[in-house]
Amino acid sequence: MLRVVSRRLIQLFITLLALMTLIFFWLRSLPGGPVDALLGERATPETRARLIKALGYDEPIWVQYGHFLKNVVTGNFGNSIRTGEPVMDVISRSFPATVELAVAAIIIAIGLGVPLGYLAARHRGRALDNATIILTLVGISIPIFFLGYLLKDWLTQSVHLFPPSGRISTGMDNTDVTGLFVLDGLLTREFDASADALWHLVLPALTLATIPLAIIIRITRASVLDVLDADYIRTAEAKGLRNPTVRKRHVLRNAMLPVVTIIGLQTGALLAGAVLTEKVYNWGGLGTLITDSISGSRDYPVLQALILLAAVVFIVVNLLVDLSYAIIDPRVRVR
């Protein structure tokens, strides 16, 4: 186990280094840049030169790259070009929002996806199965922003069931502990704040959950069908085991292997920020931060840190998946 983890850490390091290099040069190869974005078209050459020097862009690119690497290693990502704040502050303001949304979405996707996929497999070829397949097709192919606005228009305008946007009602007096509003409310016993935040969370989480939900249903269904045909299920039946024992002990555990992988990939993707969903519900998470940093000011330091964060999250989640894999499947353990 220890060897697996240490090997993974080395892989992580190499991946991050390669990624940082790529990001650094890729961002700078794009037309435009922070100087143009900040000063506009009518700036004088002198002002431009001063800003370029102030931002350190007059140095050779290799020197800039060296500074960047050195700063990253020491945990200093610099200041946002747009707001002047330290990058870490900007990100730590948005990250909890994304975590809250992503966790809610993945809980919905797993909580509904695994049982539905399982039921569809048990009822292969019958109405429930066909309905599930059609629904997952819709879930995968419907554009997020379309579904988002549809739900929003229907459930917040026509039927006033949910708040239309934001993470919490204005004027709600909530205490910030972790930045996850639902959790904070529970921790500080401000249950009204918690409930209010949860109410705001429902629609965005549902919207964000559709694609992972559809994928988890499909993978679970296929995987359960596969396992139901396996010889060891026939053995379990030949033992006369009761149905629940066969299902839980023999079918589900084996069927979960591919599903866990998919859950990991999906979780990683969700944690990197949901640009479209956040846009629809005005949810101030990483997705919003990414769009603002690109379109407004070409905020190099923030973008670099964001992409790095996404990569770290992705790799860590997948490491967790692999470790849980080793727990479920003894054949992986020995290696």
Partner 1 sequence: MPLLDVRDLSVVFQRDNKPFTAVDGVSFTVEPGQAVGLVGESGCGKSVTSLAIMGLLPRRGNKVTGEVLFDDTDLLKLRPQELRDRRGRDIGMIFQDPLSSLNPVIPLGLQVAEVLERHQGKKRQEALREARKLLDAVGIPDPTRRLKEFPHQLSGGMRQRALIAIALACKPRLLIADEPTTALDVTIQAQILTLLKELVEGSGTALIMITHDLGVVAGLCDTVNVLYAGKVVERAARHDLFGAPRHPYTHGLLQSVPRLDVERGGRLHQIRGSVNDNIPWSEGCAFAPRCDRVIDACIGETVPLEPAFRGGALRCTNPVPQEVPA
Residue 240 interacting with partner 1 (CB under 8 A) = yes
Query: Cβ of residue 243: shortest distance to partner 1, in angstroms?
Result: 8
Residue 328 interacting with partner 1 (CB under 8 A) = yes
Residue 27 interacting with partner 1 (CB under 8 A) = no
Query: Cβ of residue 171: shortest distance to partner 1, in angstroms?
Result: 53
The residue from 42, 189, 242, 335 that contacts partner 1 (CB under 8 A) is: 242
Residue 245 interacting with partner 1 (CB under 8 A) = yes
Query: Cβ of residue 225: shortest distance to partner 1, in angstroms?
Result: 12
- Candidates 52-60, 61-69, 250-258, 303-311 — which segment interacts with partner 1 by CB under 8 A? 250-258
Query: Cβ of residue 284: shortest distance to partner 1, in angstroms?
Result: 43
Residue 234 interacting with partner 1 (CB under 8 A) = yes
Residue 335 interacting with partner 1 (CB under 8 A) = no
Query: Cβ of residue 334: shortest distance to partner 1, in angstroms?
Result: 8
Site residues for partner 1, window 66-125 (CB under 8 A)?
none
Comparing CB distances to partner 1, the nearer of 70 and 333 is 333
Q: For residue 247, what are the contacts with CB-CB under 8 A and spacing of at least 6? A: none
End-to-end CA distance of the chain: 9
Residue 265 interacting with partner 1 (CB under 8 A) = no
Residue 253 interacting with partner 1 (CB under 8 A) = yes
Comparing CB distances to partner 1, the nearer of 200 and 221 is 221
Binding site for partner 1 (CB under 8 A): 230-232, 234-242, 245, 249-250, 253-254, 328-331, 334
